[in-house]
Amino acid sequence: MINSKPEMRHTYWMQRAIKEARKAEAKDEVPIGCVIVQNDKILARGHNLRETTQDPAAHAELIAIRKAARKLDSWRLLDTTLYVTLEPCTMCMGAIILSRIPTVVFGCYDPKGGAAGSLYDLSDDPRLNHRVKLVPHILKAECSSLLSDFFSALRKRKRAERLIAVR
């Protein structure tokens, strides 16, 4: 049984989202992972597959939302919690709102593209028909370093490729 304290529960499920992010990283994808939980069980999981599929919508959240909807045979993902390592973008927050997910827990903010409080905040927009409870900063350091390490390694690889191309 998972600890009933919310912080412990959130940490437990965020660790599962991080495992998904590592799957993306192993495929040279931006390491973002997501799990959707219902009744203390993983309903669906997803990780970024944009490069692999060449699909701009292949974000971890959208993959998990589609799987969860198929599994429940419903587009309404009521009584679920979505855990994701990075703050959702506008596209993903739109899908979260449309699928009626009540709670989103995320690891770190995305100041360049986030739509859950950093750049935009769609979670509590009075013009929309659904509100989303946000729980930020769960395993923030681990989620943040996963991304910064990935992009640091990517920049080093690109520099090395440019040097080789010049020779």
Residues 20-68: tens digit of each pLDDT: 999 999 999 999 999 999 999 999 999 999 999 999 999 999 999 999 9
Domain-wise residue ranges, the chain: 6-166
Portion of the chain with pLDDT greater than 70, in percent: 96
C-alpha dihedral sign at 137, 109, 44, 81 = positive
Q: Mark whether 61 is an active-site residue.
A: yes
In 3D space, the residue among 125, 66, 49 whose CA is nearest the CA of residue 90 turns out to be 125
Q: So what's the pLDDT on residue 55?
A: 98
- pLDDT of 1 reads 45
How much is the pLDDT for 25?
97
* 86 beta partners: 108
| Dist CA 136 CA 83 (whole Å) | 10
Q: Cα angle vertex 147, ends 44, 69, to 5°?
A: 15
Range 6-166 classified under CATH 2.40.50.140: no
Q: Tell me the pTM.
A: 0.92
Please tell me which residue in 20, 25, 29, 61 is annotated as part of the active site: 61
